[in-house]
Amino acid sequence: MNQRALNKTLSTLNRLENQLSIPLLISGILLIVAFLYLDRYQAISDIIRSTGWLGVVTAVTLIALLSMTPIPTESLTIMCFKAYGIGWGIFYSWLGSTLSALFIFALIRSLGEPLLRKAASHERFRQVDGWVSRRGIAGLLIARLLPLPGFLVNYITALIPAIRFWDYLWTAAVTIIPSYLMTAMVFAGVATRFRIWLWAGILGMTLIWLASYLLHRLQTV
């Protein structure tokens, strides 16, 4: 990768986050609504299940690839919930997300020192690096709870030389679980009309957002 491309890497990611987050969120919601409507008689889910392991591998691969980009994967997660059940849907989505973290780590570490030098002045990099430098593994966990897109945190944390592979991987795998659990609760509440699951999921998402907001405020103080 040439120096000009290295210099633009994180700036491009940050620009994509700022410019595309709302349109992509709206698109994701529309996809979910369209899928739930078209699959109201389980026709699409039956087709997905009929493909066997090919469908599972395809779903996990798509989630892994999209998790490396700003594109939300919630629509794929909902499809997994409907086709394979909530338990397996969470597992397949989690597996895809974890694999994406592995791919990002391998990609970033293969680029080496030049990319690190270019990224060191980036605001997002300094924000995450500050937590890790001051608090070690606890700081890495906190950084993953900051109000930053998960894919962007993976890119940034993979750039920090002090973060070992295992610490990078297990924190990525653990911190994504609450998000999938809350999504599953909301889905269960909508699918079964058992409102307690719906409100529990919404409350959980609100608490996660509030915690990340407070952590961000603490970091900027």
Instruction: State the Cα–Cα distance between residues 164 and 214, nearest whole angstrom.
Output: 27
182: containing domain:
3-220
The predicted pLDDT at position 125 comes to: 67
* Amino acid in position 203: L
- Burial environment of residue 125 by CB neighbours within 10 A (0 to 12, 13 to 18, 19 or more): buried
Whole-angstrom Cα Rg for the chain: 18
Mean of the pLDDT values across residues 165-191? 87
- Between 45 and 212, the higher pLDDT residue: 45
Judged by average pLDDT, the poorest of 51-60, 85-94, 137-146, 182-191 is 137-146
CA dihedral 56, 179, 107, 115 (to 10 degrees): 160
pLDDT digits (tens, 9 = 90+) for 45-104: 899 999 999 999 999 999 999 998 878 888 899 999 999 999 999 999 999 999 999 999
Instruction: State the Cα–Cα distance between residues 24 and 106, nearest whole angstrom.
Output: 26
Contacts of 64 (CB under 8 A, 6+ apart): 96, 97, 99, 100, 103
The predicted pLDDT at position 13 comes to: 54
pTM (two decimals)? 0.76
- Between 13 and 139, the higher pLDDT residue: 139
pLDDT digits (tens, 9 = 90+) for 98-130: 999 999 999 888 876 555 555 555 566 666 666
Number of structural domains the chain divides into: 1
Q: How many CB atoms lie within 10 A of CB 182?
A: 19
